[in-house]
Amino acid sequence: VVLHFADRLVAACRAKGNSLCVGLDPRWAMLPQEVRRRHAGQGLEGLAAACEEFCLRVLELVAPLVPAVKVQMACFEAGGPAGLAAMQHVLRAARQQGLITILDGKKNDIASTAQSYAEAVFGGTLLEGARWPVWEADALTVNPYLGADALEPFITQARSCGGGVFLLVRTSNPGSRQFQDLCCGGRPLYLHVAEAAAGWARQHLGRCGLGDVGAVVGVTQAAELAVVRQQFPELWLLLPGYGAQGGGAAAAAAGFRPDGLGALVNSSRGIIAGFAPEETQWEECIRAATRQTLAELLQQTPMRRLAAAS
Amino acid sequence: VVLHFADRLVAACRAKGNSLCVGLDPRWAMLPQEVRRRHAGQGLEGLAAACEEFCLRVLELVAPLVPAVKVQMACFEAGGPAGLAAMQHVLRAARQQGLITILDGKKNDIASTAQSYAEAVFGGTLLEGARWPVWEADALTVNPYLGADALEPFITQARSCGGGVFLLVRTSNPGSRQFQDLCCGGRPLYLHVAEAAAGWARQHLGRCGLGDVGAVVGVTQAAELAVVRQQFPELWLLLPGYGAQGGGAAAAAAGFRPDGLGALVNSSRGIIAGFAPEETQWEECIRAATRQTLAELLQQTPMRRLAAAS
């Protein structure tokens, strides 16, 4: 029996009493000097090893506190094949610690190629009749521009493994309005995309009433976030942009359903880069930033209902 | 002095007398049995080695005939870190044979992350004050959904290296119309994207009058291709979908400027997968398919002007 992604995510949130997602976006310049020192002068292999060491330590710090992590593929791709091997190790360690893993790859391509990406993320590459695991994440971010036939391989493959897909709907960057807000047939493009996501979600709802296709809506986009939440109650929303990008708890509140479900709030730099490189107590800084972010969210959003239930 | 991408591409096309791009989308099931046999039973490492061996052989066959290759990242990502190391070797070999290399990664993310992807593709990852090469392609396909601020890091980084960016405008898949054709302010979304691409292209035209930001328009989308070509003469157009996806030479003709420049016609499966796996003369099949495709294009499109000039 394959458990439904939405139910797995709800269970993880209830178990931790919150729906904070920690973003793993390791970059050389922000890593603690202590970590960098051990891997300096070794080029991309050193970058890969430093990112892996740092992220494994972050996982140990945050796994007792939060339900999920989002792994930024670009930061590992910066290290080439060695960096992507480090990403495999980080994803595996997160899974072993019971975290829900979201691979932030913003993938997109025509159907036959989307199938390759999807197999690599979810069930594994099919080779001589057997599946070979590649990234093994629980969920993937996907760019919707190509349309339904190019998105369905991601959804079908995720669904077959109890995985999920988060479609980019309204992204957290300042320029997201350029195309995403263009008004077509009386409503902005991003609502057309959200409608499509909700259609797929309704095809296959979990017991919790949420689907395994969700939407990425920047917490920096407060008004649009409220609209998506109100119109599409069946969507899990992944909310990037908390903290370093300017989104706050008051804005995040609009992403939740009244029952406290449906919003996974992601903070990356605000948690893993909130200290100077020379800080020796960086692990304590990460733990404190996580606790501080949780306190803000539990105080100012319906997320507190998860804590009450746990 | 950094040569302009558009001029480099024109020079490569004139040198070969055509603007055909061979797509390298290797998949286990389509590889010649002879190649598979040497790498069977070795999981993802075997897949990676087989893809590399096959692509290196294809490069030797097509490098004397065509100016460019397009490397489909998903096919290499299917092999995990080993697959991506194989992709590095294929890109390097293509460059060494004088081919223009297009990495088909359809990348997109917010600016700080786009910067990481762009450095990996073009100038190399910046680490302790030095650049470490990662993929080293001449051009990259980029998905426009996030908007200008998220696209500019790709363009700036490409430009600094004499590289190019192809923005997805109207993709070759049947469902591309779902979002790309939505009418906003009197014209479809894909023309808004093409207009943005042309704006960047005009900022930095090569001597040939074409820019280093181009557009992907499926040769399967004949009417839309003609519109983009007519409205935006400064865009290099990358035309996927030739052959296996159903696009033909008559449709491709609409992608060219009258001077025979501006359209790079990509054929992947039609050239590298046009034979049964048990075929022992597969190299001759690839050479013949390349020649046949060239004959069609030179006969039916303004590409013939490149041949006349060379």
Residue of A nearest to B174 (CA): A149
CA angle at B44 for the pair B40 and B50, rounded to the nearest 5°:
55
Q: Is B300 exposed, middle or buried, given 0-12, 13-18 or 19+ CB atoms closer than 10 A?
A: middle
Please check whether residue A164 is in contact with residue A6, taking contact to mean a CB–CB distance below 8 angstroms: yes
DSSP bridge pairs for A103: A71, A140
Q: How far apart are CA B271 and CA B171, in angstroms?
A: 20
Chain B CB contacts of A173 under 8 Å are 110-111, 146-147, 149-150
Record: contact B110-A81, CB cut-off 8 A: no
Contact residues, chain B, for A134 at CB < 8 Å: 44, 77-80
Q: What is the pLDDT of residue A273?
A: 95
Residues in CB range of B11: below 8 A, 6 or more apart: none
ipTM computed for the complex: 0.97
Q: Using the beta-carbon criterion (under 8 Å), do B127 and A43 form an inter-chain contact?
A: yes
**Structure token pair of residue A16:** 């931790």
Give the strands of the sheet with A183-184, arranged side by side.
A187-188, A183-184, B183-184, B187-188
Q: What's the rounded Cα separation, in Å, for the pair A300 and B45?
A: 50
Contact criterion met (CB < 8 Å) for A182 and B184 = yes
Nearest to A88 among B41, B80, B127 (CB): B80
B65 token code pair: 């005939």
* Residue ranges for chain B with pLDDT beneath 70: 309-310
Contacts of B224 (CB under 8 A, 6+ apart): B170, B188, B190, B217
Given a contact cutoff of 8 angstroms between Cβ atoms, the answer to whether B214 and B237 are in contact is yes
Q: B82 to each of A48, A58, A67, A84, B57, how far by Cα in Å?
A: 15, 26, 31, 9, 19
Q: Which of B243, B273, B237 is nearest to B257 (CA)?
A: B237
Q: Which residues contact B297 (CB under 8 A, 6 or more apart)?
A: B18, B20, B249, B252, B265, B303
As a whole number of angstroms, the distance between CA B277 and CA B289 comes to 16
| Residue B7 CA: distances (Å) to CA of B67, B155, B204 | 13, 16, 12
Q: Which residue in A91, A122, A135, A145 has the most chain B C-beta atoms within 10 A of its own C-beta, making it the best mutation to test that interface?
A: A145
Of the partner residues B146, B178, B184, the one whose CB lies closest to the CB of residue A176: B146
Q: Which residue of chain B is at minimal alpha-carbon distance from A115? A: B74
* pLDDT < 50 positions in chain A: none
**Burial letters for A42-71: b for 16+ Cβ neighbours within 10 Å, e otherwise?**
ebbbbbbbbbbbbbebbbebbbebbbbbbb
Q: How many CB pairs under 8 A join A and B?
A: 206
A129/B240 Cα distance (integer angstroms)? 30
Kindly give the pairing relationship between strand A100-107 and strand A68-72. Answer: parallel
Chain A partners of B125 at a C-beta cutoff of 8 Å? 44, 47, 78-80
In the numeric block, which tokens belong to residue A107? 């993938």
DSSP state of B139: E
Name the CA dihedral angle for A224, A228, A230, A235, rounded to a multiple of 10 degrees. -150
As annotated, the active-site residues of A are 106
pLDDT tens across B254-291, in order? 999 999 999 999 999 999 999 999 999 999 999 999 99
Nearest to B44 among A41, A132, A144 (CB): A132
φ, ψ (nearest 5 deg) of residue B214: -120, -170
Determine phi and psi for A168, rounding to 5 degrees: -65, 120
- Cβ pair A116:B27 closer than 8 A: yes
DSSP H or E stretch at residue A5: helix A5-16
Q: A147, B120: Cβ pair inside 8 Å? A: no
Element (H, E) at A85: helix A80-96
Chain A's closest residue to B151, CA to CA, is: A175
Question: Between chains, do A145 and B150 touch, taking CB under 8 Å as contact?
Answer: no
- CB contact under 8 Å between B168 and A150, yes or no, is no
Test the B interface: residue of A117, A140, A178, A266 with most B CBs within 10 Å: A178
Question: What does the alpha-carbon distance between residue B108 and residue B145 come to, in Å, rounded to a whole number?
Answer: 8
The model carries a pTM of: 0.98
For residue B309, what pLDDT is reported?
Answer: 62
